[in-house]
Structure 1
């Protein structure tokens, strides 16, 4: 037993030779790693300097700033100052408009106001015409528009021609004479209860009458179903709600200058379609620039699913029709739009989020394609004579068919109608900026 315990104690005693060998191997490994790192640092420091900087000392000139690549890629950035926070609050306030149209009771009331039999009969007839045209072009051709698109087109015609009324100066309720703008007034309790945030005041042009007329600017689509009058803010609000009532997905497009309109998603085309109820315009996004000659800075589309900057859809020629975007940096605008999207899609299923992300990617490709196509068209208009001999051949530019499409067939875009409405753009005779650009009613 004693010998066995002695052997056990001898086995437990550390061997000094083994410890020394382990320490030696560890130290040699550390030296090897240190030598390898030093060699790598020396090889990096001895790499050739960029051309033009070899003869300069480290303190003789600063390194290149690469300012052209400063915002590539564009990283969303939260608002930093009061001006940017104010713009963020405006965007979030405007994004609430489409959410009001998701009320089932409101949509039921809207369906009661729509002559559904007339709308669907016209849509069926037009849909059959598009199918016949596609078949006449050959097998495999797709109709220009689907059935639901034809429903919205029929709704657009009925809304403009029979349902809603454009109002600049309301007539006098006593003698039915024209009125003159007198100023603004505070909304009465009844008007405020019906969502009127501002009231325009008009005075009868007849001195003997001298009555005053109030024109509340209502933001509630349910109230607009009863009043059925207003300007582009009321038109876009009510018409977008009616499109939602017949089952279409809609957007409310805010323009930073003086107009608002609608976008409807076409399942047949798999893209968003420009619709302006004031102009009875369908898929004519270049109407405001090439058609009216307006200059635009921001166009932001709001829906129940989020927000999207769609300026590139409506402004193809930035140099000619684009205004400088100075309200917030582009990175802040991306942050605000992403924030609105996240808020609207927070409670959606993963499947719905994935579907909407796919739509966002397709729309981004579409906007890029439109922009690149517009640049290519401008380049194709250049004649060799214009380059070799400036001033010769200036009148021989090739006509742009899209610009002609933007201007043709516009009943409400005639000069007199534009002058009356004040939709001629800034700097155009007859333009009236009746409301501040940050307010929804227009």
Structure 2
């Protein structure tokens, strides 16, 4: 009996060994077959590739340590480049000059003086009330919800309403000081000594439209925010200058935004939202960065924000749909513009503590991520509007209707209708080009 069991176990062991040997042979055969197929495909591919043409021109010897010509190198970050051509140098000088404006708002004594014209009790009461309402709305949505805006944001919003409705006056053509009749623009005049001493580098000249009067009216364009506290009139240049200074006076971090298409506005840093917020005192607009493109119908090229801490190209915040609203940027190469921004930033932060510099650099990085996100969102938005039929047919002339698109575009409200039409800022259905004979700059 024991002998029969031993014979059976030996037979089973032989069967297992035979199966193992056959499996190993099968793997070897399969591996050899695959390698043969791969080798034949490689040889066929090389033999079927077209040979390079020989034009009879000797080929230069390979350059040692030459940079690779990979297409991916086109997407590397820009390397700042100092301006070299006259046009770029002029652009740099202009931006450097503009960057000095926010420095004028840093005098504590003058800021305290500016607060005397502001009804602080009214401003703070309105801000407290709005802040409590926003907080209650957030709490009604569930635990842990954050209010839309913080208290300091509400202070600036209350200041914006007061500034627009009660304090500053828009001026297109100043009325005649003798008979109060309308006036007509006749050109420019050099500033008088007292006008120049108060910060007016240019003076617009107007003539009374009443032939019986014929008086001339001077309109100095003051760029001193503290002089504007007394005059309390002007166009967007004066509005943005004075309002930005008052925002600084109530404790907010402020930027002055220059636009190459003849407009200026303000940005205020929201500690609550950890980002810069668009504010336009002329339009009483808060956080409406699409106002100028989708609202006024303008095309924008450069939007540069200047603060006491430096400068930042924020064009992507305001041009969300480049194919439709981007104007050509031809004042300097992009690498040169990056160099100018870095240079202004370094100058403004030269005497700062390392910790403060580190904080601002982190803030710059977050803002850079935000601005790049607008470009990505714009591309994704346009792709989402393409219908399946258009993809199949290869024609994209009729994208799907955007359900989130605004029903009506909001044109400019500050300024008279003729001035708005001349600047092409009336919104939908109005021309988008400025009148070169327009006598009313910003």
Q: TM-score, normalised by structure 1?
A: 0.80
> Given that residues 203 and 211 in structure 1 are in contact (C-alpha distance below 8 angstroms), is that contact kept between their aligned partners in structure 2?
yes
Which residue matches 1:257? 261
Q: Do the aligned partners of residues 432 and 103 (structure 1) sit closer, same or farther apart at CA in structure 2, a change above 3 Å counting?
A: farther
> What is the deviation of 1:61?
8.9
- Equivalent position SS for 2:267: strand
Picking from 355, 359, 362, the partner of 1:358 is 362
Q: Do the aligned partners of residues 54 and 354 (structure 1) sit closer, same or farther apart at CA in structure 2, a change above 3 Å counting?
A: farther
> Given that residues 163 and 228 in structure 1 are in contact (C-alpha distance below 8 angstroms), is that contact kept between their aligned partners in structure 2?
yes
Alignment of 1:186 onto 2:187: no
> What is the deviation of 1:97?
0.4
In the alignment, the residues of structure 1 paired with residue 315 and residue 241 of structure 2 have an alpha-carbon distance, to the nearest angstrom, of: 20
Alignment of 1:87 onto 2:96: no
Q: In the TM superposition, what whole-angstrom CA distance separates every residue of 1:160-183 from its partner, at most 9, and x where no partner exists?
A: 000000000000111100000100
> What is the deviation of 1:378?
1.1
Q: In the TM superposition, what whole-angstrom CA distance separates every residue of 1:280-322 from its partner, at most 9, and x where no partner exists?
A: 0000101101111100000000000000000000001111100
> Given that residues 419 and 431 in structure 1 are in contact (C-alpha distance below 8 angstroms), is that contact kept between their aligned partners in structure 2?
no
Q: Do the aligned partners of residues 287 and 328 (structure 1) sit closer, same or farther apart at CA in structure 2, a change above 3 Å counting?
A: same
> Given that residues 420 and 430 in structure 1 are in contact (C-alpha distance below 8 angstroms), is that contact kept between their aligned partners in structure 2?
no
> Given that residues 383 and 397 in structure 1 are in contact (C-alpha distance below 8 angstroms), is that contact kept between their aligned partners in structure 2?
no
> Given that residues 186 and 205 in structure 2 are in contact (C-alpha distance below 8 angstroms), is that contact kept between their aligned partners in structure 1?
yes
Q: In the TM superposition, what whole-angstrom CA distance separates every residue of 1:237-283 from its partner, at most 9, and x where no partner exists?
A: 00000000000000000001110000000000000000000010000
The 5 A counterparts of 1:47-126 are 55=52, 59-60=58-59, 69-70=73-74, 72-126=76-130
Q: Do the aligned partners of residues 225 and 203 (structure 1) sit closer, same or farther apart at CA in structure 2, a change above 3 Å counting?
A: same
Picking from 148, 151, 159, the partner of 1:147 is 151
> What is the deviation of 1:105?
2.0
In the alignment, the residues of structure 1 paired with residue 356 and residue 217 of structure 2 have an alpha-carbon distance, to the nearest angstrom, of: 48
Q: In the TM superposition, what whole-angstrom CA distance separates every residue of 1:44-82 from its partner, at most 9, and x where no partner exists?
A: xxxxx9x97974679459999668845733100001121
Picking from 315, 321, 333, the partner of 1:329 is 333
RMSD (Å) for aligned C-alpha atoms: 3.1
> What is the deviation of 1:383?
1.7
Which residue matches 2:316? 312
Q: In the TM superposition, what whole-angstrom CA distance separates every residue of 1:70-115 from its partner, at most 9, and x where no partner exists?
A: 5733100001121111111001000000000001122011100100
Q: TM-score, normalised by structure 2?
A: 0.80
The 5 A counterparts of 1:337-356 are 337-356=341-360
Number of matched pairs? 387
> What is the deviation of 1:394?
3.4
In the alignment, the residues of structure 2 paired with residue 436 and residue 71 of structure 1 have an alpha-carbon distance, to the nearest angstrom, of: 44
Q: Do the aligned partners of residues 312 and 354 (structure 1) sit closer, same or farther apart at CA in structure 2, a change above 3 Å counting?
A: same
In the alignment, the residues of structure 2 paired with residue 379 and residue 71 of structure 1 have an alpha-carbon distance, to the nearest angstrom, of: 21
- Equivalent position SS for 1:265: strand
Unaligned runs of 5+ in 1: 1-48
> Given that residues 425 and 431 in structure 1 are in contact (C-alpha distance below 8 angstroms), is that contact kept between their aligned partners in structure 2?
no
The 5 A counterparts of 1:393-404 are 394=398, 396-401=400-405, 403=406
Picking from 159, 163, 175, the partner of 2:179 is 175
Picking from 224, 228, 233, the partner of 2:232 is 228
Q: Do the aligned partners of residues 59 and 148 (structure 1) sit closer, same or farther apart at CA in structure 2, a change above 3 Å counting?
A: farther
Which residue matches 2:28? none
> Given that residues 258 and 433 in structure 1 are in contact (C-alpha distance below 8 angstroms), is that contact kept between their aligned partners in structure 2?
no
Q: Do the aligned partners of residues 326 and 65 (structure 1) sit closer, same or farther apart at CA in structure 2, a change above 3 Å counting?
A: farther
Which residue matches 1:428? 431
Alignment of 1:289 onto 2:271: no
> What is the deviation of 1:413?
7.0
In the alignment, the residues of structure 2 paired with residue 435 and residue 169 of structure 1 have an alpha-carbon distance, to the nearest angstrom, of: 12
> What is the deviation of 1:417?
8.4
Q: Do the aligned partners of residues 62 and 376 (structure 1) sit closer, same or farther apart at CA in structure 2, a change above 3 Å counting?
A: farther
Which residue matches 1:273? 277
Which residue matches 1:241? 245
Q: Do the aligned partners of residues 227 and 262 (structure 1) sit closer, same or farther apart at CA in structure 2, a change above 3 Å counting?
A: same
